[in-house]
Amino acid sequence: MTLKEKASYIVKGLDRAYPQARISLQFKNPLELMIATILSAQCTDKKVNEVTKTLFKKYKTPQDYAQAPLAELEEDIRPTGFFHNKAKSIQGCCLELVKGHQGKVPQTMEELVALPGIGRKTANVVLGNAFGLPGIVVDTHVSRIAQRLGLTQEKDPVKIEFALMPLIPKKSWTSFSHQMIEHGRSLCSSRSPQCSICFLRPYCDFGKSTVAPQKGQKS
């Protein structure tokens, strides 16, 4: 079986297991999604959604973020952690939107990653979920599972993204990302992967190396 054939079986398995997988961040427009994704670094989506429920009522445009007193913005996003850096990224990013993009979130990877605080992960989240442009989002779940499955030996998120791109059909890039994240949360966790009941085990280098105890043996 080639690596591409293996990836095809994995994609089909994920499609069957998580047909409704979608982003859990709550947003109504590209700007809200971009802000929420910045806030999601080292923070749960649940906590981000709690914060943005109020935040998005207070700040509705890039101008609102750009003109806000930095200390006030920091306090508004404090519960998400790393609020000093996140506030600077949000404000710097929104200032660039006002100056160079007529206050609109751009729709290309090149323009997005040129904004302060925006890397390929955030850009792919925005492109895939706000604009419907396929992108592979490599978070900790996607990184861990891709390595365990043997789809790549890379550890750098950008290198993992580029390793996966030729293996996964482009139309599936966004859904594949959501499904891998869901799989990481439900079965393939970092510390306690449930390999014995995982439907991807036949295609998983890590899972096949996990030998279940024989009858009568202690686990």
Print pLDDT tens along the chain (219 aa): 899 999 999 999 999 999 999 999 999 999 999 999 999 999 999 999 999 999 999 999 999 999 999 999 999 999 999 999 999 999 999 999 999 999 999 999 999 999 999 999 999 999 999 999 999 999 999 999 999 999 999 999 999 999 999 999 999 999 999 999 999 999 999 999 999 999 999 999 998 776 544 344 443
Q: Is 51 contained in some domain?
A: yes
Q: Determine the residue type at 119.
A: G
Domain termination residue (choose one: 130, 147, 176): 130
Q: Are residues 38 and 121 in the same domain?
A: yes
Q: How many domains are there within the chain?
A: 2
Is residue 95 situated within a structural domain?
yes
Amino acid sitting at position 107: Q
- How far is 219 from 203, CA to CA, in rounded Å? 23
Look up the pTM and report it.
Answer: 0.91
Query: What residues make up the domain containing 77?
Result: 30-130
- Positions annotated as catalytic residues are 121, 139
Claim to verify: residue 171 and residue 117 sit in the same structural domain = no
Which tokens in the block code for residue 31? 């700007």
Residue 217 lies in a domain: no
Do residues 125 and 143 share a domain?
no
Backbone φ/ψ region at 87: left (φ over 0), alpha (ψ -120 to 50), beta: alpha
Q: What is the CATH number of the domain that holds 79?
A: 1.10.340.30
CATH number at residue 14: 1.10.1670.10
Residues 45 and 88 in one domain: yes
